[in-house]
A and B are shown apart, each in its own frame.
Chain A
Amino acid sequence: MKMVSALLASVTLAAGLAASFSASAQDTIKIGEINSYSGLPSFTEPYRKGWQLALEQTNATGGVNGKTLEVISKDDGGKPADAVTAANELVSSDVVVMLCGTFFSNIGLAVSDFAKQKKILFLAAEPLTDAITLSKGNRYTFRLRPSNYEQAAMLAEEAAKLPGKKWATVAPNYEYGQSAVAVFKKLLSEKRKDLEWVGEQWPPQGKIDAGAVVEALAKTEPDAILNATFGPDLVKFVREGNTRGLFKNRTVVSFLTGEPEYLDPLKDETPEGWIVTGYPWNAVNIPEHAAFLKAYQAKYNEYPRLGSVVGYSTLEAAAAILAKAKSTDSEKLVDAAEGIQVDTPFGKVTFRKSDHQSTLGAFVGKTALKDGKGVMADVSYRDGAKYLPPESEVKALRPQD
């Protein structure tokens, strides 16, 4: 029977190999893109629309270095192992000149390490973990989105103005939640030495027992609460919190809640007065954004989400790097990417040489209810550059090559 198994195995392998060959054209530059399209479609569908819009615009104005830009996009199913397989296929079979994308922090780290091993440029779009540019940073990895550190710093700045002294935290029990809380605590305690951290809750990601968590938080009688839950967990937390009066006379500071992906599902139950980071798509004053908004709405007939901005900016950055390097050699691309300035819907953004982090910022504002929907009010754009760890400290935080 081993004969049969060997035969069957080789046949199935051959079928798999045959399917993975792809034709290549001479006049295109190929970029590889990986994201969790099946794992988190509420973010990745707008994200895809964003980069497809940017791709169309780039190629309409002559492409890059006289060649058409082509994006080969793969799904990673939300698993780091499959993301590495996809990256490998892109690099070995499809022969792309650089990689970009990813959403989850662990996938971002896996692909970043792969990029380091294969010596190819990787532009991480969305992963928020500080490790990508700091403790596990490497020469070939760049990151677009403002990191956990930056968002925590933006929120801490606002939180320091609040009168309350007793704080409680609630965050999902995985690296993102843990580091969001840890950095926020550190930065806020530096600004306000009189604070007391009275309680913390760590519901498992996706499985919050909201009633019990809300009660446990209420018991500690905090003056203010830091929230890092998102998605369905946030919905449950808000519902239970509203019904049980957790948010009465308390200020809540919350990561990511102002992003349309997380704010829209709350509809008329949006809690008011929360200090949040997000993207108030219809209240942005930056000139570049108006053009982006118009083009996006014209093409897709819907409003952009934060994912759309991330996708658009990622492709703009990739095109800019290729144009500056005038080459597709990885080392030249990395050298060009260090310190490059890119136009994004939030204005000009630079990729720092010290840690390869972009200075893309975020909007901070307060949640409010308008016509039965949640919106952000009192918004202001925070430039990422002001909230990053200083360049002098960064070298010590990165691994020594």
Chain B
Amino acid sequence: MTFLFNQFVTGLASASSLFLAACGLSIIFGVTRIVNFSHGAFYMIGAYVAVTVTERLSGGFGFWGGIILGSLIVAAIGALVEMTLLRRIYAAHELLQLLLTFGVTLVVEDLVVLIWGPGDLLGPRAPGLKGAFDLFGQPFPTYDFLLIAAGPLTLIAVELLLRRTRWGILVRAATQDREMVAALGVNQQWLFTGVFTLGIFLAAFGAALELPREAASHTMDLQIITEVLVVVVIGGLGNVLGTFIAAIVVSELNAFGILVLPKISIILVFLVMALVLVVRPWGLLGRPETAIRAASGLQIIRWRPLLSVERISLAAGIVAAALLPLVAGSYALTVASEVLIFMLFAASLHLLVGAGGLVSFGHAAYFGLGAYGAALALKQLGLTMAPALVAGPLLGFFGAFLFGWFCVRLSGVYFAMLTLAFAQILWSVAFQWTEVTGGDNGLIGVWPSAWAAPAAHFYWLTLALVVAGIALLRVVLFSPFGYALRALRDSELRAEAIGLSRHYIQWIAFTVAGTFAALAGALYAFLKGSVFPDDLAIPLSIDGLAMVLLGGVGTVGGGVVGAALYKSLSIWVISHTDYSKLALGLLIIGLVSVFPQGVLGAWSKLPLGRLKAGRS
């Protein structure tokens, strides 16, 4: 009995530290509606800065003073980032802010290694709180009690701030209706900067408080960001009390779960999120998102099918691509095949994001299903490459069919997070089910049949399939179904009023997108000769979003162009420098700042007059 109580109290300490890390994100999202991907990166910087500052200052004041000072420094950095980078794109599509914060994360990851070195830095112990306290006969770290107190205290402080101060009222008003707040004369820019700074301060503070329990390492950001996002979503975005409850629920489930199922930790948080979102679509304490007036960044750009001039030039382009093997070596051809595969992946994601307005954070799940499907068909069923290339998309189809039904019941960020949850659950299954999927050692020996083995032949096969896939996606886009999908994106109320069923149409779109992503995945398996759980993982989903956004989410060809650009750049960068994340992050930040409409979107705005008949 006392053991259970002890385990419960241990779980509370973890809950507190998780809440401290997450509440900043909840506040930021609640007001600015930015899914701040760089929250993990600032958490990490907070940890490193706190280690450095507390080492410089000594004594009792040194530790606590160091923590506060460190958090203030990081908050100032956050304010700087917000003012220089994020402010410029508030008017653009909401997703662009996500992409920008993703770029910031990449930059920070390499900067941290450059500044503080590659090793892990052990955090300082809190003076006077180093020992253990006897709790029912078991030694219990004294510091944990401080943490357990810190969580609710911070919650109360934040709630007081939001409910009893004028600033808090403005913040909550901005959550509900940004335009009205601006119309009433409140300086929206400073409001957002203030909120962002507060959020980052809380993140850094949470990291600093966690230091006596762990080391600052340069992979901290990736480890914390998914947990934090999930906890915030389970609680309900923008609701700090919800975040607190969710943190407790998740930590306690973990603390007791490992007594029963020691391997559950890897998947627990996503299972809980999936369950909560299925039952309560807006999180535990969240409210349905009030219809924000159409984000001014999303223009109603007329999309039209290709004119005959464009069709001819496109055909010429494809012929030119098909002639590539005559001039390029086998490495260049494999790179070209990889770029083509991602063009198809991005095009399928674009159907969801651009045409459907459904931002998916877990699209890589279907890519991975296609890869695993093809690999398993080859290895377990003994099929050859051609049937395997059918088996992969088939598995992706089933996955998207199944998960899609649950996902499209939600909307907005909750939809995105549920897709993430399902993707992570699939990832955990692939990671753990060693007998079938090979676990994290993956499946190897997935090579093409002899006729497709030479680089040129595989390239032609990929080119044919990708061109066919993108063409089919385009046909879907300009079919009556595509129009219906876009109608639902532009105005759900009106679309439903004329009888379009949101659930069915979006479900079909999800399934179609998943199937084409799976085709890309199947080709990828044969290109690389191996399949790993990485092919299902979050970084690949984020890469897909980055490709669509860089190309221009409001354009038809955005996904394809963005993929070509992003993929070629990342392959080139990683081949030429060890600091590929820094380079890629800076590139992304640069491209987003210069081309808020995406590269293709910017092109369509160029006054080239007769060169382009109409906009596309």
Contact = CB atoms under 8 A, between A and B. Distances in A.
B10 A92 contact: no
A397 interface: no
A5 B557 contact: yes
Given A8-B564, A81-B535, A201-B258, A1 B556 contact: yes
B317 A38 contact: no
A50 interface: no
A174 B440 contact: yes
A206 B336 contact: no
A82 to B, nearest CB: 6
Contacts of A136: 441, 444
B313 A3 contact: yes
A2 B317 contact: yes
Contacts of A244: 132, 138-141
Contact of B122 (A116, A218, A235): A235
B265 A219 contact: no
Contacts of B528: 80-81, 84-85, 110
A265 B122 contact: yes
A92 B561 contact: no
A76 B574 CA distance: 7
A10 B569 contact: no
Interface residues of B, number: 105
A336 B310 CA distance: 59
Interface residues of A, number: 86
A25 B10 CA distance: 63
A76 B263 CA distance: 29
Interface in A28-42: 37-38, 40-42
A211 B265 contact: no
Contacts of B138: 215, 218, 244
B447 interface: yes
Contact of B330 (A2, A6, A92): A92
B36 to A, nearest CB: 20
Contact of A2 (B227, B314, B530): B314
A85 B335 contact: yes
A201 B121 CA distance: 25
A15 B444 contact: no
Contacts, number: 281
Nearest to A267: B122
B602 to A, nearest CB: 11
Contacts of B220: 232
A131 interface: yes
Interface stretch (B239-247, B492-500, B576-584): B576-584
Contact of B616 (A1, A7, A74, A209): A1
A383 interface: no
Given A3-B310, A4-B561, A232 B530 contact: no
Interface stretch (A16-24, A62-70, A158-166, A183-191): A16-24
Interface in A105-158: 105-106, 109-110, 112-114, 116-117, 129, 131, 136
A9 interface: yes
Given A6-B321, A109-B530, A174 B431 contact: yes
Contact of A1 (B141, B215, B557): B557
Contacts of B110: 38
A295 interface: no
A109 B441 contact: yes
Contacts of B442: 80, 106, 109-110
B529 A113 contact: yes
Contacts of A219: 3, 259
A209 B119 contact: no
B610 to A, nearest CB: 14
A173 interface: yes
Given A12-B564, A84-B530, A209 B578 contact: no
Contacts of B6: 215
A299 interface: no
B10 A10 contact: no
Contacts of B505: none
Contacts of A106: 440-442, 532
Contact of A80 (B213, B534, B560): B534
A46 to B, nearest CB: 9
Interface string B408-440: 000000000000000000000001101000011
B14 A212 contact: yes
Nearest to B559: A5
Contacts of B131: 243
B11 interface: yes
A13 B564 contact: yes
A105 B584 CA distance: 26
A228 to B, nearest CB: 13
B160 interface: no
Interface string B85-102: 000000000000000000
A202 B434 CA distance: 15
Contact of B215 (A215, A218, A236, A245): A236
Given A77-B580, A204-B266, A42 B119 contact: yes
Contacts of A82: 574
A200 interface: yes
Given A12-B564, A89-B331, A211 B141 contact: yes
Contact of A240 (B7, B141, B444, B581): B141
Given A16-B335, A213-B258, A216-B259, A231 B444 contact: no
A17 to B, nearest CB: 4
A8 B431 CA distance: 37
B113 A41 contact: yes
B180 interface: no
B256 to A, nearest CB: 8
Contacts of B262: 200-202, 216
Contacts of A209: 14, 251, 254-255, 258, 265
Given A1-B616, A2-B557, A89-B331, A10 B321 contact: yes
A37 B582 CA distance: 13
Contacts of B212: 239
Interface in B107-131: 110, 113, 118-122, 130-131
A56 interface: no
Given A12-B564, A209-B14, A231-B120, A175 B439 contact: yes
B593 interface: no
A269 to B, nearest CB: 7
B320 A210 contact: no
B313 A210 contact: no
Interface string B525-537: 0001110101100
Nearest to B578: A37
Nearest to A80: B532
Contacts of B314: 2-3, 6
Given A2-B317, A92-B334, A239 B214 contact: yes
Contacts of A211: 10, 13-14, 141, 144, 213, 255
A377 interface: no
Interface string A263-277: 011110100000000
29 contacts: A2-B314, A4-B557, A6-B314, A6-B317, A6-B321, A9-B560, A13-B335, A13-B568, A20-B332, A20-B335, A42-B118, A42-B120, A75-B578, A80-B528, A80-B534, A81-B535, A84-B529, A89-B331, A209-B255, A209-B265, A212-B255, A215-B3, A215-B138, A219-B3, A232-B214, A244-B141, A261-B119, A264-B119, A265-B122
Given A239-B214, A245-B132, 11 more contacts: A1-B604, A3-B313, A15-B572, A38-B581, A202-B263, A202-B265, A202-B266, A204-B265, A206-B219, A209-B254, A211-B255
Closest 4 CB pairs of A and B: A6-B317, A41-B118, A92-B331, A3-B313
Interface of B: 3, 6-7, 10-11, 13-14, 110, 113, 118-122, 130-132, 138-141, 144, 212-215, 217-220, 223, 227, 251, 254-255, 258-259, 262-263, 265-266, 306, 310-311, 313-314, 316-318, 320-321, 324, 328-332, 334-336, 338-339, 343, 431-432, 434, 439-442, 444-445, 447, 455, 524, 528-530, 532, 534-535, 555-557, 560-561, 564-565, 568-569, 571-572, 574-581, 599-600, 603-604, 616
